[in-house]
Structure 1
Amino acid sequence: MKFKKLSITLLTLILVMTLSFTILAEEVNLRIYHVNDVHSRVEEDDYAGSMGYAKMATLIKEARRERENVMFLDAGDTFHGQTIANINDGESISHILDLMKLDAVTLGNHDFNFGQQRLEELAEMSRFPFLAANLSREDGKEIPYTEDYIIKEYDGVKVGVFGLATPETTFKTHPKNVEGLVFENPITTAEAVVSEIENKVDVIVALSHLGISDGSEYTSKMVAEEVAGIDLIVDGHSHNVLEEGMKVNDTMIVMAGEYSKFLGYVDLTVENGEVEAITPNLIPREDTANVEKDYIISLVVDRVNKANEVITSQVVGRTTVELNGAREHVRTGETNLGNLITDAMKAKFNADAAITNGGGIRASINQGEITQGEVITVLPFGNTAMLMELSGADLRAGLEHGISEYPATEGLFPQVSGIKFTFDGDAEAGNRVQKVWVAGEELDPNKMYTVATNDFMKAGGDGYSMFADAPIVSEAGGLEEVLMEYIEANAPVAPEVEGRIVAE
């Protein structure tokens, strides 16, 4: 009898151990959908190549019906950029992403464009968290609109997601929007967060708005090189299309381009608490021709647009040529739209010259009628036009700074009016500008010039620190209003590339 009890006990123990081993050895599959740098391009758009949120929502919903474990992440520059978002300060984007069941967003530099108070309001109205582990306040107080990380569980597998915001935010939004904030070193922050959560989770994901641009002080590639233990970095900021991801050490970096042209997804296989496989994929817009738009998302977009139509549909003039505001062009050379905008700024103040940052120009305009909505889309940041008094030496320094990252597509690249300059893009940064003329005469470093710019650059934005202390002579309205006035007064417009900026 005693032997029988012992046998039963032993058999039970063996069964429990076998069952436990089976459970531990069970394979868990997780799919993570991701977007970045949508800049509120929520609608399908042939011209911009955008897929739009309605088709993304359909694809993600289908995956959630077919699979048990699906996550959806956004790597930033989400709430600002197009009229549908700017008129209501990002509220429409929050509502749409709630309907799409977004799990988390990290804060991109342009997500600060409405100011910190609005970010707090957006965080309160959103059902998904805003992540930025390297963001703190100078006074040590808690930031009410961000979290460092979240932990979610899928079939027993725990996934930790932490956010990293780019320190470039201090000059890639208006400086007033980040007053009192400190953007800590993302590498040391990542080390600290990984150390804190590595024993709590099976998978570690960095939701990053750092990018991989050579012109950035900190990149996601650097994080992957320096910080062990991160399985996946879902990245944004530099707008790269990483079709097969980028493997750095044991970390996979993924990025889905820009403007909702791609929907990214990563399939992860986890066994015994270890990530055994990571497979990145991108769905390009052209592959979604037969995907039906989600009805609810489409309905919300239509209702917001109808409410905005009273403002945006008003025609302000015509253009007989396409106005080129493509990112890769306005950030690397002179364009006719850059010329039109700076001509408008120069004319507004009757200034000697005008300069604006290429990164502030966010879209092109087709030949034909120009509406208010199109102008707002081109100049979405609500910047005001300013006239400053600037020495020739500081003006040259500004131009030198503007081309310092060339040929990288950085937003600091200048568009100008009343100025012609030549530069050597192969020379060492700081010694690239060759010759400069203002109003047809060679630049005098000791002469004072009246130069129109925008308040972002005047405050030192995009690193234009040489403008910060220049006396302000006058201020005008919003930059978009200045452009509308100029188009209306000079329609039809037909600006050309005139050789204002010449790479030698």
Structure 2
Amino acid sequence: MKFKKLSITLLTLILVMTLSFTILAEEVDLRIYHVNDVHSRVEEDDYAGSMGYAKMATLIKEARRERENVMFLDAGDTFHGQTIANINEGESISHILDLMDLDALTLGNHDFNFGQERLGELAEMSNFPFLAANLSREDGEEIPYTEDYLIKEYDGVKVGVFGLATPETTYKTHPKNVEGLVFENPVTTANSVVNELESKVDVVVALTHLGISEGSKYTSTMIAEEVPGIDLIIDGHSHNVIEEGMMVNDTMIVMAGEYSKYLGYVDLTVENGNVSNIKANLIPREETADVKEDYIISLVVERINRANEVITSQVVGRTAVELNGERGNIRTGETNLGNLIADAMRAKFNADAAITNGGGIRASIDQGEITQGEVITVLPFGNTTILMELSGADIKAALEHGVSEYPATEGLFPQVSGIKFTFDGDAEPGNRVQKVWVNGEMLDPNKMYTVATNDFMKAGGDGYSMFADAPIVSEAGGLEEVLMEYIEANAPVAPEVEGRITAE
């Protein structure tokens, strides 16, 4: 009898403990670290405000030691932008992110800059998937370097991550880089993928490169508004800093700025198969002063830089002033660096004018010596320089297009040489440009002018469709080579803001 009583007591205790463990197991915490638009800003940099991958790696590793469930995601524009990436066409970035145990990446428009063949090679060498559910081929063939989604399990909780690439990629990389590809409507794709994932996972994450810019046709806010069932959108493309996330309907949207200035993370609690709590945070570079750089990442970066140094350290000239290529300036108005680049293009052909897109200028240059590496960083896209013949009417149409999204910081904003124009930023797009002069004379809409541009714009990139059919008069080498030649011939350079572009 005593044994029976003891057995019942023991059985009751075991049952209570089992139920307790079951209840505890139903509540799972997950932390998701995220970055976007790093543009290969691998190293800590005071000038750009970059934290760098080595400090990010330390923070993520510490979290993985302290927590059971940690994920790391990248929302695109990753493989291209700085010399450390461009010289080896993204291989160095793939290697570093592998060492950081990246779980997945969605493709940004600039991730196509080395072409589809190279993107396939990067996918082969990377131990993480490239996600882009809305990407397909015109011929119906499977794309070998992308997947629609990834499913990972954490303490019994299944997390589905699907990717969306911006349809703007068709004109925000060189058109040749996306030949044969179709970027489907992200809203339609998201609805379809979420319907598929809902029966398979507990948490749905959209890893998107869409942005929240007013100048974009498709945005992550649109996805959140029109597609139910997404718990979290990790976004990129528009470079916004969303400090504590942004709730749209029942979906949290997060974005971590640009250039590795921030490391974002989202803490989720999943209870009985549903997200019961979600909180977004950003770690700014300023808060990482005491964080030690991860030894392995630092060592790899050092070795890559040492191999590249033979090329990048060559001095091509000097500048007597700081050359302003900051994103917020180069995409909304005239800057001295924009003038210098456009002047170099015009001088190369002795053209009437030059027009280049602000989005193709990616960095500033400090006063003093200018190295080849700095020029490559400013002009990282490998564009060639082209001379075309353009009517005055098409020049005005190009300028109208260039300021159509102002004051949004869009890459289509023009930097010019040989041209002076005024525009009204409050007027309706298409009717903003007021006066235009070419070489000091009022623009004649019927006259033909020689205009230097880059091959990206000539092919209709950034929406400059009026350039696509213009006759090509001549071609030169790479835009970075044209700029280096001009700097060398005119050093020390000291360009100024001269009133070429005036918003009234």
Question: TM-score range, shorter-chain basis?
Answer: over 0.9
Percent identity at matched positions? Answer: 85
The answer for the alignment partner of 1:197 in structure 2 is: 197
Show the 5 A alignment for 1:11-22.
19=18, 22=21
Tell me, yes or no, if the aligned pair for 1:24 and 1:271 is still in contact at 8 Å: no
Structure 1 distance, partners of 2:143, 2:49, is 36
What aligned pairs does 1:82-97 form with structure 2 within 5 A after superposition?
82-97=82-97
1:410-425 equivalence runs, <5 A = 410-425=410-425
Question: What is residue 56 of structure 2 aligned with on the other side?
Answer: 56
1:23 is displaced (CA, Å) by 1.6
Q: Which digits, 9 at most, give the CA deviation of each residue in 1:264-310, with x for residues without a partner?
A: 00000111111011100000001000000001000000000000011
1:364-418 residue CA offsets vs partner (Å, 9 max, x unmatched): 0000000000000000000000000001111100000000000000000000000
Cα distance in 1, alignment partners of residues 13 and 296 from structure 2: 53
Whether the aligned pair in 2 keeps the contact of 1:133 and 1:163 (CA below 8 Å) is: yes
What residue is the counterpart of 2:229 in the other structure?
229
Task: Output the CA distance in 2 between the equivalents of 1:298 and 1:399.
Answer: 44
Listed one character per residue, the Cα deviations across residues 97-118 of structure 1 (whole Å, up to 9, x for unaligned) are: 0000000000000000000000
Change (3 A) 1:198 1:16: farther
**CA distance in structure 1 between the aligned counterparts of 2:208 and 2:237, rounded to whole angstroms:** 8
The separation in 1 between residues aligned to 2:277 and 2:322, in whole angstroms, is 47
| Per-residue deviation, residues 319-357 of structure 1 (Å, max 9, x unmatched) | 000000000000000000000000000000000000000
Partner in structure 1 of residue 169 of structure 2: 169
Paired position in structure 2 for 1:332: 332
**Aligned residues of 1:25 and 1:271 also touching (Cα < 8 A):** no
Give 1:22-421 correspondences, 5 Å limit.
22-24=21-23, 26=25, 27-421=27-421
Deviations 1:165-185 (A, max 9, x none): 000000000000000000000
- CA distance in 2 between counterparts of 1:19 and 1:185 reads 48
**C-alpha separation in 1, matches of 2:371 and 2:453:** 23
Where do residues 490-501 of structure 1 align in structure 2 (5 Å cutoff)?
490-501=490-501
Distance 1:433 1:198 in 2: 50
1:252 match: secondary structure:
strand
In structure 1, distance between residues paired with 2:16 and 2:227? 36
Q: Structure 1: which amino acid aligns with 2:148?
A: D
Aligned CA distance change for structure 1 residues 207 and 355 (closer, same or farther; 3 Å)? same
CA drift of 1:421 comes to 0.3
SS in 1 for 2:170: helix
SS of the aligned residue for 2:305 comes to: helix
CA contact (8 A) 1:106 1:131 kept: yes
**Which runs of structure 2 are paired with 1:402-481 in the superposition (5 Å)?**
402-481=402-481
Moved more, 12-21 or 351-360: 12-21
Shift of residue 14 of structure 1? 11
1:17 Cα deviation from its structure 2 partner: 9.3
Equivalent AA in structure 2 for residue 473 of structure 1: V
Where in structure 1 do 4 or more consecutive aligned residues deviate above 3 Å? 11-22
In 1: Cα distance, 2:494 partner to 2:114 partner: 33
Q: Matched residues in 1 for 2:141 and 2:14: separation? A: 54
Structure 1 residue runs without a partner (length 5+) = none
The amino acid across from 2:446 in the alignment is N
Aligned equivalents of 2:11 and 2:142: distance in 1? 53
1:199 CA displacement: 1.1
- How far apart, CA to CA, are the structure 2 residues paired with 1:138 and 1:397? 31
CA RMSD of aligned residues (A): 1.8
- Secondary structure of 1:264's partner? strand
The whole-number CA distance in structure 2 between the counterparts of 1:280 and 1:480 is: 40
